[in-house]
Amino acid sequence: MTATQSIQPVLRSDYRPPTYWIENVELEFDLDPRETLVTARIAVRRNSQQPSDTLDLAGENLKLQSVAIDGKRLDGDQYQLRDDGMTLLNLPESCQIETKVLVSPLTNKSLSGLYQTSGNYCTQCEAVGFRRITYFLDRPDVMTTYRVTIRGDKKTCPVMLSNGNRIAAKDLDDGRHEVVWEDPFPKPSYLFALVAGNLKCHRGTFTTRSGRDVALEIWVEPQNIDKCEHALVSLQKSMKWDEDVFGLEYDLDIYMIVAVNDFNMGAMENKGLNVFNSKYVLALPDTATDEDYMLIEAVIAHEYFHNWTGNRVTCRDWFQLTLKEGLTVFRDQQFTADQTSAAVKRIDDVSGLRAGQFVEDSGPMAHPIRPESYISMDNFYTATVYRKGAEIIRMYHTILGAEGFRRGMDLYFQRHDNSAVTCDDFRAAMADANNINFDRFDRWYSQAGTPELTVTESWDAAKSEYALTMTQSYPTLPGGNPGTEDRNPVPLPVRVGLLDAESGEEIEQHSGVVMLDTETETFTFSGLSAKPIASVLRGFSAPVRLRMQRDNEELAFLMANDNDPFNRWDAGQTLATKLLIDAANGLADGRALELSEQFRDAFGRVLSDNSFDEAFKALALTLPRESVLGQEMDVIDPDSLHTARQFYRRRLAECFQSELTSLYNELAADGAYKNDQKSINRRRLKNVVLAYLSVLDVPACISRVSNQFHQADNMTDKQAALSLLANLDVPERDAALAAFYDQYKTDPLVIDKWYAVQALSSRPDTIEHVKQLTSHPDFSVDNPNRVRSLIGAFTQNQVRFHQADGAGYKLLADYVLEIESANPQLAARLVAAFNSYRRFDESRQTQMQDELKRIAEHPGLCKDVHEIVQRALHF
């Protein structure tokens, strides 16, 4: 039997509380790159609900030195060691367990547990990394207080941090020093953090609404100390917003953020000591784009908001992950909407949902937001748990309104502060606080897949009545994934507006939210003088695929008149999708490509409409992504889709070259870089316009792109121009790539951008360039950011990753196999690019399937990759 054959799933239905609870923990770390000694003293008390004198502690990759109970060292007959932990036998009702283990931070390439990055020590414990630090009840329902003593060399580790408040520090006689931290708030082990090394601090303060001063500290490598102010301001804004909107005040005397280069995730909300991927902390206009600035603000906010929705109230078990993540994503989305544009933010969020989560919902990894089983928990940090989870939270907010939602949140914290709870507890708080029955919302937590909402309309002129019949259903999925069978109707709040078909004005008395919580229902609107145009699912009020038959004229009407900004944008996307899919299908039938006059005219109206803000106009002028278009094809044809979309881009640029040029010149005349919202919006539109002009074979257009690259005083404009040049077969391309590398070769985050723009190029020779870049001296499989920027970005390049010879598939499989043993999480995220393979033609299906089989047959394959590959092969 191989290691992978013996892997067994963990089931939600098997949850049992532990046999013992932990009352407090004392940890001591004697730091050493190869042999860090970790001493753990844990006071345990028998769980009266689970009477047993046996205790199972999780542990992985630990060298046990000793075990003692109440000071008495145990021999081998009193405990049992396994590869994944230790079992202690014949324990008294309460006792103190002391273990001493050695771990090797230097050789830990999984970036889980305690590891070294750039010479500094760092931990990552969510979901199950703490068991790589010491033997422990490494599960989220075991919450306890921690006292942590860290000893390290004063030269290499002048800074030593952990959770809570620093209560003592002293120098030792052997050239080391010692720091003691104490966290007064109970927390599960996944929220433990330790950071030590040569770091510099960017400091600030925040005064809470009750008048307490909180010290804010952002710790970075010395060369990055000038890139922290935006992160600090973002943190202060987040703290103020959470007080204003939810009445939630920070609870410790200090809040720390540490930026590290080698990190598997975006960031981690460890209590009082957040560890961040440096990508989401460091920013200067010369090295970070407007999108980077926005993401930094959003991720800083997300991790801060976890202090209450995740830390003070946490998950009973990992199946409840969306309890903290879906809720906190919703909170950070609301925060960003308040800081920027609610309409643009909503469009961006739904675009991401459709591009990522909808694909996940229709493939082998389809799962409910509260999964029923897993083999590797790390595989369920998914778009479904996060993004779809946030949409379910948003529906509570839509139904209850802001005040009702706040009442529910207040009751949730009142009931469950300092507790580990379930999704059902959150749902009950929302229901009880508002005297409403949310029982059917449980279906959203237990059913997988994206519901389809089919809407038909009817008009009765004699009765002056207009009716919308709404029907919900789930598409059938093969593979028998949990949550995809015997699915029932879910509650759908559908926001509807009716528009006068002549004037485009809204008929306000008929606008609002209707609730569909059965399979089919008809909603009738009376007292109308003429048949209206319906605007359905405004603001994307429920996470569904809307199916409503509309002709092109009606879509163009909504694109021009709907005063719901999301639906106005979505009408344009729907029209473009219809036309581009038809064009792509026509190529296979030998039809010539033609630009739709309706779409051309609608595009021209948007281009000339000065009532839009620039960010919204940029979105409205952008054609749907090829990956999103592919979802609407029975069999995805990446080549035809790419050809059709490129044709539309070129024809639109030709038709509106004068207007686009004039608009670009106007926007480019803004002068020196500014970071205010108006300037950000104008840059966004300017670069969309430049992208259209770049597809014209006119020397002036190529020169314009090249000039923007060389003259840009900010990374937003420079990267936008470089991305466009990377698609072109012109001398300016190679010159720009060389100049960019020479200018930024000492900045890892900027060089990640250099890799990504080449991986995303639409040029036919892209895969050869990607292969060459894997041999570049700056490429390393040990750094997740670098791998994601090249290999991960390439898998998002639909036309080149899926080129017909299968070279892209082999490249991905090679790197999955190279990475999987050292960093299973990263490898699993990469291999997921194969999950949609059954959506392609037979030849591509066979080639991807062959690579999946090659991975599956790899000896000793890690369980993270094993789970995803097996689900794909059996889908």
Give catalytic residues, as residue numbers.
303
DSSP state, residue 410: H
**Separation CA 99–CA 115 (nearest Å):** 20
Q: What is the DSSP string of 110-168?
A: S-SEEEEETTEEEEE-TTTTGGGTSSB--STT--EEEEEEEEEETTT-SEEEESSEEEE
CB 577 within 8 A of CB 521: no
CB 182 within 8 A of CB 167: yes
**Separation CA 871–CA 875 (nearest Å):** 6
Can you say how many angstroms the Cα of residue 193 is from the centroid of all Cα atoms in its chain?
22
Mark out the alpha helices in 417-551 (DSSP H runs). 423-434, 442-446
CA distances from 233 to 93, 239, 293, 473 (A): 50, 10, 11, 45
Token pair 């990504």: residue: 756
CB 807 within 8 A of CB 767: yes
Q: Give the phi and the psi of residue 24 in degrees, each rounded to 5.
A: -165, 160
Residues with Cβ within 8 Å of residue 562, at least 6 apart in sequence: 497, 499, 535, 568, 571
**Separation CA 753–CA 413 (nearest Å):** 41
Q: What angle do CA 826, 831, 834 make, to 5 degrees?
A: 155
CA distances from 710 to 51, 290, 590 (A): 71, 18, 42
Residue 6 half-sphere exposure, CB side, CA atoms within 13 Å? 4
Helix (H) / strand (E) element for 234: namely: helix 229-246
10-30: string of b/e by CB count within 10 Å (b at 16+)?
A: bebeeeeebbbbbeebbbbbb
**Separation CA 635–CA 842 (nearest Å):** 9
**Separation CA 553–CA 426 (nearest Å):** 44
